[in-house]
Structures are given as C-alpha cells and as structure tokens.
Chains A and B, each alone.
Chain A
C-alpha cells in the first residue's frame, strides 16, 4: 500500500508539470522513477518508454507501463490515475471557461512562450534516452539514423521503431 501511495504521488506530481506532454516530461519521470525511487534501471526505463511510444494511444501511457512494472496491475492503476486525474481536472475546469477565454489576448503568448521550453525538454528526453540506449556502435548508428529520418522526412516515425527493432534482432 505504501508503494502504491508513492507511485500515485510521484506520477500525480508529474501530471501537473507535464507541459508539452509525455516526451517533455520524460526527464522528470526518469529523475523520479530511476534516481529518486530506484524503481528500475536506466535500460528498463528506456525500453518501457519506447514500448509505450510504439503502441497506439497517447504516449503518456508510458506511466501506466511503468506502474505495471513497479507493482503489477494495481501499480498500473495508481500510475495511470496519478498521471491523468490532476491534469484532467484542470483541463475540465479550463474547458468550462473556454467560451470566455476564446480569442483572449494571453492565449497566444502563452502558447508561444511555453513552446520553446517544451521543445527544450523534448530534446533533453531524447538525450537521456540516447544515454541509456547507446550501448554499442550499432545503437549509436540507429539513434543517428532515426534522428535524421524523423527530423528530415514526413514519413511516420513507426518506420524507424520497426527498423530499429529489426536491426536489433539481426545484429545485436
């Protein structure tokens, strides 16, 4: 029960600072899950996050997969509720205010000014994942190729995930 409470609090805190979504919150998730609570190691964290990316649905469900890994089905529920409920309540309150906020003068600067922070945090997420995933020359090759592919082309990123898995299967 104490563990479930800890999971709920950890992901509940994440929920309210997750500006920019799952990718942007990864550094903080890593800090809490790996460094503060020692619930899993670096490689496991990165693999679980990658699995949530590859599956359909919101990427924030990475929290659910980690919850399961820490404490089974109950852990999954605790992590998911913690991750979703606080921010969902906020979104619901804001939705009620929307009609009054429509075209409000602060909406544009708010979006505009928070975006660079989100982008910086997403870049940091990539670096943290690369630190954990870069175990051999082949993984560095996959990381580099995948970065350029996603940055420079408009194809679905699922191709690189599939390609990465295939290369891993054949060569690692």
Chain B
C-alpha cells in the first residue's frame, strides 16, 4: 500500500463479498465489472492502481480476471487477501455452472435443447471472432505485429500445440514491441 494509504483498506470479508458479487453479476467478462466496483463504487483503488493490476494480470497466463483479483487481494492482505478474492470470484459461478453442466448431461440430447444450444454455440463463435476483430481494429498494430498475430492464428487453426506457438512467437512479439516502444 504505497500511495493508497489515504484510501480505506477493505477487510478480507469485504474483499470476498465484493468478488462474490462481481462473479455472479459479471455477464460477458469480469474486468469491466470489477473496475466499476473497486474504482467507481467503493473507491478502494485509484484508476491507475486498477489499471496496473489488470495490466500484470493480462501479461501472465491464465484467467486475466483471476490474476487481477490475486494482485488486488495481495495488495491489501497478502496471501490470505488473494485467497479471499479468488474464492469470492469463483464460488458463485462454480455452483451455477455445476447446475448447468448436470442439466446438460440430463437434457442436452433433447431435440429442443439441442436446437437452442446449437443457436447459442453459433452466436458464441461469431462473438469470439467479432471480439478478435474489434481488438485488432482498436489496436491498429504495426505490420510486424500483424504478421505475428496472423501467424498465431494460422498455427492455432493448424492445431500446432500452444507451447510451440508461444515459444516461436513470444520472443518475436517482444522484440518487435521493444523496438516500437523504445
């Protein structure tokens, strides 16, 4: 807690409850909801502090939302704070998804359910492609970064195992970015 000393430090309970609420309401991605809660609603973090936690969460592998939650929890209460945030984030959705998954096992093969799920799956495929296009449009990457992104796309479609994709492309990406941000 460096420059945040003037702010209120939430307790572990408050962190758990905050993330419980975020986890259960965050349709379509956690990060926007978490920012709203921590920065706008509660004022526990400044805009800059949240952006830093999110930035590190995005560079690391795994769920960005979880990495960010662990960063925020650690900042306030160390390891137990991280545990409180992570547990809060996953408790609600896990129970919900267990219910959904068991319903799928029982009713997933019914023609009516299958029709609805096929429609949702098609929409989700478009949603994922649309997200990629939106990100590419917003980021306006330079030519080398475009090439790296398209190579990643091609390798993944050809089912090249991901560790190889990262080993081959991450150094190139870092090199290109280092050149451009220098």
Contacts and interface: CB of A to CB of B under 8 A. Distances in A.
Interface of A: 13-23, 25-28, 31, 35, 43-44, 46-61, 64-65, 68-69, 73, 76, 80, 83-84, 86-88, 90-92, 94-96, 98-99, 101-102, 106-130, 132-135, 139-140, 142-152, 156-158, 160-161, 163-169, 172
B93 to A, nearest CB: 3
B82 A92 contact: yes
Interface string B27-56: 111100000000000000000000011011
Nearest to A149: B130
A73 B98 contact: yes
Contact of B112 (A13, A16, A169): A169
B125 to A, nearest CB: 4
A57 B177 contact: no
Interface of B: 2, 23-30, 52-53, 55-67, 70-71, 73-75, 79, 82, 86, 89-90, 92-94, 96-98, 100-102, 104-105, 108, 112, 115-137, 139, 141, 145-146, 148-153, 156-157, 159, 161-163, 165-166, 169-170, 173-178, 180-181
A114 B97 contact: no
Contact of B63 (A22, A92, A98, A128): A22
A1 to B, nearest CB: 21
Given A58-B63, A151-B137, A169-B115, A164 B156 contact: no
B178 A147 contact: no
Nearest to A154: B134
Contact of B126 (A17, A61, A116, A142): A142
B122 to A, nearest CB: 4
A76 B101 CA distance: 9
Question: Which of A23, A31, A94, A114 is most buried by chain B, counting CB atoms within 10 A of its CB?
Answer: A114
**For the complex of A and B, 9 pairs with smallest distance between CB atoms:** A168-B119, A87-B62, A57-B93, A164-B123, A146-B126, A150-B130, A126-B129, A120-B152, A113-B177
B60 A90 contact: yes
A163 B174 contact: no
Nearest to B141: A116
Contacts of A60: 62-63, 65-66
Nearest to B180: A112
Question: Which of A25, A115, A149 is most buried by chain B, counting CB atoms within 10 A of its CB?
Answer: A115
Contacts of B62: 15-16, 18, 21, 60, 83-84, 86-88, 90-91
A43 to B, nearest CB: 8
A161 B123 CA distance: 5
Nearest to A29: B162
A48 B105 CA distance: 11
Given A27-B157, A65-B101, A156-B28, A111 B55 contact: yes
Contacts of A101: 56
Contacts of A25: 162
